Amino acid sequence: MRTLGKKVFFVRSNKTKFGGAENYLSCLSEELSKHKIDYQIINSTLPKFLPSWLRVILFNFSICFFKKKKFYFSLDRVTCPDIYRAGDGVHKVFLSTEKKSKTNLLHPTYIFLEKRCFNKSKCIVANSHMIKQQIIDTYSIQSEKIKIIYNGIKLKEFDYKKSFDKLSKEFTIKKNQPIILYVGSGFKRKGVKEFLQIISKLRTPDIKAFVIGKEKDIDFYINLSQQLHIDNQVIFTGPREDVDDFYAISDIFLLPTHYEPFSNVVLEAMNFENVVFTTRQNGASELLDKRFIMDSPKDNKVVKSIDNLLSNETNLKEEQIKNREKSKLFSIEENLNKTLEVINDYI
């Protein structure tokens, strides 16, 4: 483990652990503390009643005004980073995949800050080749300025029986029942509509599907499951603290997302011996074999692939074990080592 000669300030406005970047920073800070590395996290203290676009501008102003000689490793789009980790992807590309209100000032604010953030950084850390290429194509940033460091997770052990016994008290599930899992908030972007449509087309009998995450328009998806006649198969749990138990009992993790720089849940699912299917619009798909990558959220070839796997227990188990072994290459410790190497080059 390489140590640093100067205190590093990690910049992220939100404090919650439920966001991908926030969860990543929480894991990273635990590792930094473990290795007695001098750091500080800077979060926003601005009141929530302010409009979101104004909070973003004021946070940027305060961060840059008080920077002085501090070394900033930013996980937010700010105009004065030393190193910027582009964990949120490229907002301009994201907007091309989503229909967002043109009256919402947050989006032009993000693009204004994003352009300056990419240009002002000494170095940009991208969490996938996909994001690196999008930065180059969108803002003409030189390739040498961008380093790729895949996300890292806490590697965990699990006990299927213990998790099954716990969840079977709450939900109607049977041992050895095929279980397909989705985890993530923001259902529209992350493809819950397509997830439900795929579930409705599967021919494997007795499938149970869990949808875990926060969604303000949850009634739309519940109604859709009823229209697709799969409401007896699909369980919407809302956000859960015990997601690990769901990973532990699931066979297949399905994330037909429309845009994802690098989804941590892909690595987490792999670590719990899930076969993972996701789209090529997810940077984490770079870790998967081609046959598990969907061309788009509406790629119906995945239906046959899932059915074939669930009908062949030997193949299913083989792929599950492969995924667990592969996930061990992407620990948070490995991520920290690579991140510190980059920081040391620029501090």
Q: Are 269 and 247 in contact (CB under 8 A)?
A: yes
Question: CA dihedral in degrees (194, 23, 83, 255; nearest 10)?
Answer: -10
Count Cα neighbours of 27 within 13 Å in the Cβ-side half-sphere. 19
Angle at 301 between CA 300 and CA 307, to 5 degrees: 100
Q: How confident is the model at residue 3 (pLDDT cuts 50, 70, 90)?
A: low
Provide the domain limits for residue 294: 160-327
Count Cα neighbours of 70 within 13 Å in the Cβ-side half-sphere. 20
Alpha carbon 263 to its chain centroid, in Å, reads 3
Q: How far apart, in whole angstroms, are the C-alpha atoms of residue 121 and residue 80?
A: 7
Looking at the domain assignment, is residue 121 inside a domain? yes
Looking at the domain assignment, is residue 338 inside a domain? yes
Q: Where are the alpha helices (DSSP H) in the chain?
A: 20-34, 52-65, 91-97, 106-120, 129-139, 160-168, 192-201, 218-227, 243-249, 264-271, 301-310, 313-327, 332-346
> Of 24, 31, 42, whose CA–CA distance to 85 is shortest?
24
pLDDT of residue 18: 60
Calculate the average pLDDT of the chain.
93
pLDDT of residue 96: 87
> Of 340, 327, 335, whose CA–CA distance to 155 is shortest?
327
pLDDT of residue 4: 64
* pLDDT for residue 68 is more than 90: yes
pLDDT of residue 14: 84
Q: How confident is the model at residue 274 (pLDDT cuts 50, 70, 90)?
A: very high
Q: Are residues 85 and 134 in the same domain?
A: yes
Six token digits for residue 72: 């900033």
Looking at the domain assignment, is residue 3 inside a domain? no
* pLDDT for residue 254 is more than 80: yes
Q: Are residues 89 and 195 in the same domain?
A: no
Q: Are residues 119 and 215 in the same domain?
A: no
Q: Are residues 123 and 215 in the same domain?
A: no
pLDDT of residue 31: 82
Q: Are residues 172 and 111 in the same domain?
A: no
- Secondary structure element (H or E) that encloses residue 8, with its range: strand 8-11
One-letter identity of residue 89: G
pLDDT of residue 24: 80
Phi, psi angle pair for 261, to nearest 5°: -55, -50
Q: Are residues 45 and 87 in the same domain?
A: yes
DSSP 128-188: SHHHHHHHHHHH---GGGEEE----B------HHHHHHHHHTTS---TT--EEEEE-S-TT
- Secondary structure element (H or E) that encloses residue 275, with its range: strand 275-279
Count Cα neighbours of 110 within 13 Å in the Cβ-side half-sphere. 15
Q: How far apart, in whole angstroms, are the C-alpha atoms of residue 260 and residue 190?
A: 8
Looking at the domain assignment, is residue 2 inside a domain? no
Looking at the domain assignment, is residue 216 inside a domain? yes
pLDDT, greater one: 3 or 328? 328
Q: Are residues 199 and 118 in the same domain?
A: no
Helix axes 20-34, 264-271, angle to 10 degrees: 60
Q: Are residues 26 and 57 in the same domain?
A: yes
Total domain count, the chain:
2
Looking at the domain assignment, is residue 79 inside a domain? yes
Six token digits for residue 158: 């699990």
pLDDT digits (tens, 9 = 90+) for 214-252: 999 999 999 999 999 999 999 999 999 999 999 999 999
pLDDT digits (tens, 9 = 90+) for 319-330: 999 999 999 999
Alpha carbon 27 to its chain centroid, in Å, reads 14
Looking at the domain assignment, is residue 1 inside a domain? no
CATH assignment at residue 292: 3.40.50.2000
Q: Are residues 50 and 64 in the same domain?
A: yes
> Of 54, 44, 37, 38, whose CA–CA distance to 13 is shortest?
44
Q: Are residues 137 and 44 in the same domain?
A: yes
* Long-range CB contact pairs, 235-240, < 8 A, 24+: 235/171, 235/208, 235/209, 235/210, 235/211, 236/211, 237/210, 237/211, 237/212, 238/212, 238/213, 238/214, 239/18, 239/185, 239/212, 239/213, 239/214, 240/212
Q: How far apart, in whole angstroms, are the C-alpha atoms of residue 37 and residue 19?
A: 24
Instruction: Name the pTM for this structure.
Output: 0.92
Q: Are residues 174 and 301 in the same domain?
A: yes
Looking at the domain assignment, is residue 63 inside a domain? yes
Q: Are residues 322 and 176 in the same domain?
A: yes
Q: How confident is the model at residue 97 (pLDDT cuts 50, 70, 90)?
A: confident
pLDDT digits (tens, 9 = 90+) for 141-198: 999 999 999 999 999 999 999 999 999 999 999 988 999 999 999 999 999 999 999 9
Phi, psi angle pair for 255, to nearest 5°: -135, 85
